[in-house]
C-alpha cells in the first residue's frame, strides 16, 4: 500500500503540532521516525490511523481517503504507548477480540508466539495483573497477528527486556521482508531504528527536517576511537590534517579518508595504542536523533 501525504497539518489550539508538506510512504519499505519529546511523532501516527481525524490536508492510501472510506484502516496495525486493551479481561480474550475483529486468528500461531515471548502461561490471567512490559508484549503480539499490510509502532520496545526486543526485531525483519509489508516505527533508541529501518525521518516541531537513507554506503565509515594517549593522538591527527570530533568516548573519525592511512605507521613511533574502535551510529553521525 502506498501512503501519500499532502499538506498535512494538525494543531492543538494555537500549537501547530504537525506540518508536513509532502511525503510518500512506499510499500515494502521500512521507515523510522525520530525526534525529541513533543516533536509530533505520535500525532503523526494518530493522523495516519484516523485516531485523529480533524487534521488539514490529505492522507491517501492507494487512492482511498481513510476519512471517507475507513475500511482501508483494517489493513493497518498500530501500537501506541497507551496500551489500550481491556484490562479486566484476560490476555487470551483480548487477542481473540482484537484479532477476531479482522477475521484473522490462528490460535496455534498465537500460542507459539506467546510461548516464545514468555506470555503463554499467563494468557488466561486478567491483563490488569500484568506488568507494564507484559502488557506491552501483549499489544505487540495483537498487532503482529492481525495480518496488517502496514504496521505503525510508536516506541514499541520501551519497557521490554533485551531478549524480548531482539525477538520482536527478528520477527519484524522477517515480516518486512515479505508481501510488500510496510513498517513505520518511532524510537528514541538509535539501534532499534538502525536494525530495522531503511529510511529515517527526523521530525522537529511537527516538520520533517531531514530524511536519512540508512542503506547508503557513505554512512558506514565513521568510527569512535579510544587510545592510551589522547593528547599525542590529537597532535598526530592535527599534524596530518585529519578531521575529527572529540566525543565523550574518544575521537570520531571518518576512516575512509585517504589521510587516515598516514596515521597508522606513526602510531608506534609516538607510543600510541588504539584501545578501541567502534562503529558510530549512522543516526548519531547525522546529528539526527534528538
What's the closest the beta carbon of residue 149 comes to ligand ATP, in angstroms? 23
Using CB under 6 A as the binding rule, whether residue 94 contacts ligand ATP is answered as no
Using CB under 6 A as the binding rule, whether residue 137 contacts ligand ATP is answered as no
Using CB under 6 A as the binding rule, whether residue 40 contacts ligand ATP is answered as yes
Pairing of strands 150-154, 15-25: unpaired
Looking at beta carbons only, is 189 or 274 nearer to ligand ATP? Answer: 189
Helix, strand, coil tally for the chain in percent (to 5): 35, 30, 35
Using CB under 6 A as the binding rule, whether residue 38 contacts ligand ATP is answered as yes
Among 5, 20, 42, 139, binds ligand ATP (CB under 6 A): 42
User: Taking contact as CB under 6 A, which single stretch among the options 11-19, 68-76, 136-144, 233-241 is the one that binds ligand ATP?
Assistant: 11-19
Q: What is the CA radius of gyration of the chain?
A: 23
Q: Are 140 and 130 in contact (CB under 8 A)?
A: no
Looking at beta carbons only, is 48 or 236 nearer to ligand ATP? Answer: 48
What's the closest the beta carbon of residue 46 comes to ligand ATP, in angstroms? 8
Using CB under 6 A as the binding rule, whether residue 41 contacts ligand ATP is answered as yes
DSSP H stretches of helix in 38-161: 41-48, 91-101, 107-116, 132-144
Looking at beta carbons only, is 167 or 201 nearer to ligand ATP? Answer: 201
Cβ-count burial of 66 within 10 angstroms (0-12 exposed, 13-18 middle, 19+ buried)? buried
Looking at beta carbons only, is 79 or 99 nearer to ligand ATP? Answer: 79
User: Taking contact as CB under 6 A, which single stretch among the options 38-46, 85-93, 212-220, 280-288 is the one that binds ligand ATP?
Assistant: 38-46
- DSSP-derived letter for residue 166 is H
* 95 three-class SS: helix
Using CB under 6 A as the binding rule, whether residue 17 contacts ligand ATP is answered as yes
User: Taking contact as CB under 6 A, which single stretch among the options 33-41, 63-71, 92-100, 119-127 is the one that binds ligand ATP?
Assistant: 33-41
Q: Are 199 and 214 in contact (CB under 8 A)?
A: yes
**DSSP string across 183-227:** EEEE-S-HHHHHHH-SEEEEEETTEEEEEEETT-GGGS-EEEEEE
What's the closest the beta carbon of residue 15 comes to ligand ATP, in angstroms? 6
C-alpha cell at position 157: 520496545
Using CB under 6 A as the binding rule, whether residue 37 contacts ligand ATP is answered as yes
Task: Give contact residues for ligand ATP (rule: CB under 6 A).
Answer: 12, 15, 17, 35, 37-43
Amino acid at each position: 500500500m502506498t501512503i501519500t501525504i499532502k499538506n498535512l497539518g494538525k494543531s492543538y489550539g494555537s500549537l501547530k503540532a504537525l506540518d508536513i508538506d509532502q511525503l510518500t510512504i512506499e510499500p515494502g519499505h521500512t521507515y523510522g521516525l525520530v525526534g525529541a519529546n513533543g516533536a509530533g511523532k505520535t500525532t503523526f501516527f494518530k493522523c495516519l490511523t484516523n485516531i485523529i481525524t480533524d487534521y488539514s490536508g490529505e492522507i491517501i492510501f492507494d487512492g482511498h481517503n481513510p476519512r471517507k472510506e475507513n475500511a482501508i484502516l483494517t489493513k493497518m496495525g498500530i501500537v501506541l504507548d497507551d496500551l489500550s486493551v481491556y484490562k479486566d479481561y484476560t490476555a487470551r480474550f483480548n487477542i481473540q477480540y482484537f484479532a477476531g475483529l479482522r477475521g484473522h486468528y490462528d490460535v496455534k500461531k498465537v500460542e507459539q508466539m506467546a510461548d516464545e515471548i514468555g506470555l503463554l502461561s499467563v494468557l488466561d490471567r486478567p491483563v490488569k495483573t500484568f506488568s507494564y512490559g507484559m502488557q506491552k508484549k501483549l499489544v505487540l503480539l495483537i498487532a503482529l497477528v492481525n495480518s496488517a499490510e502496514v504496521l505503525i509502532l510508536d516506541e514499541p520496545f520501551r519497557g521490554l527486556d533485551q531478549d524480548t526486543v531482539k525477538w520482536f526485531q527478528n520477527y519484524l525483519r522477517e515480516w518486512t521482508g515479505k508481501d510488500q509489508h510496510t513498517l513505520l516505527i518511532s524510537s528514541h533508541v538509535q539501534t532499534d531504528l538502525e536494525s530495522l529501518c531503511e529510511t529515517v525521518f527526523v521530525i522537529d516541531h511537527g516538520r520533517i527536517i531531514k530524511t536519512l537513507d540508512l542503506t547508503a554506503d557513505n554512512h558506514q565509515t565513521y568510527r569512535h576511537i579510544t587510545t592510551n594517549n589522547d593528547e599525542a593522538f590529537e597532535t598526530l591527527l592535527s599534524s596530518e590534517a585529519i578531521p575529527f570530533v572529540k566525543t565523550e568516548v574518544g575521537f570520531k573519525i571518518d576512516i575512509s579518508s585517504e589521510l587516515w592511512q598516514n596515521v597508522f605507521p606513526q602510531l608506534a613511533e609516538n607510543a600510541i595504542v588504539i584501545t578501541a574502535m567502534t562503529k558510530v551510529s549512522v543516526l548519531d553521525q547525522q546529528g539526527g536523533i534528538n
